[in-house]
Amino acid sequence: MPSAYILANVTVTNPTQYEDYRKFSTIAMQVHGAEPCVRGGAVTVLEGDWTPERVVLLKFPSREAAQAFYDSAEYTRARQAREGAAVMRMVLIEGV
């Protein structure tokens, strides 16, 4: 079964409130077996005009596990805490 990834680019607009999102999303990741590969490290643009601000890459054992994480009560709580604190762009990607 191929692994799956959730890739997010986040523009934080309220850093203080965003800390609540980080706390709740960490709990959701632990509950749902997410493996954080990248969580806000330095970014260097190599090509193109994409200038991401805060990049997050999570690895899951399957597409179903990644979707279950996103749909979970734990992550719903995190999303609610993030409202008004950030602009989120997120995709689920099937891996190999």
pLDDT at 59: 98
**Helix (H/G/I), strand (E/B), else coil: 32:** coil
Q: Say yes or no to pLDDT of 1 above 80.
A: no
- Average pLDDT for the chain: 96
Q: How far apart are CA 29 and CA 21, in angstroms?
A: 12
Q: Kindly report whether the global pTM for this prediction surpasses the value 0.85.
A: yes
**pLDDT per residue over 73-96, tens digit each?**
999 999 999 999 999 999 999 998
Q: How far apart are CA 61 and CA 24, in angstroms?
A: 21
% of the chain with per-residue pLDDT over 70? 100
| Cβ neighbours around 56 below 10 Å, total | 21
CATH number of the 4-43+50-94 domain: 3.30.70.100
Average pLDDT of the segment spanning 28-52: 95
Residue 33 is classified by DSSP as T
Nearest 5°: CA angle at 15, between 13 and 20? 115
Q: How far apart are CA 35 and CA 63, in angstroms?
A: 13
pLDDT at 96: 84
Q: At what angle do helices 73-82 and 63-71 cross, to 10 degrees?
A: 60
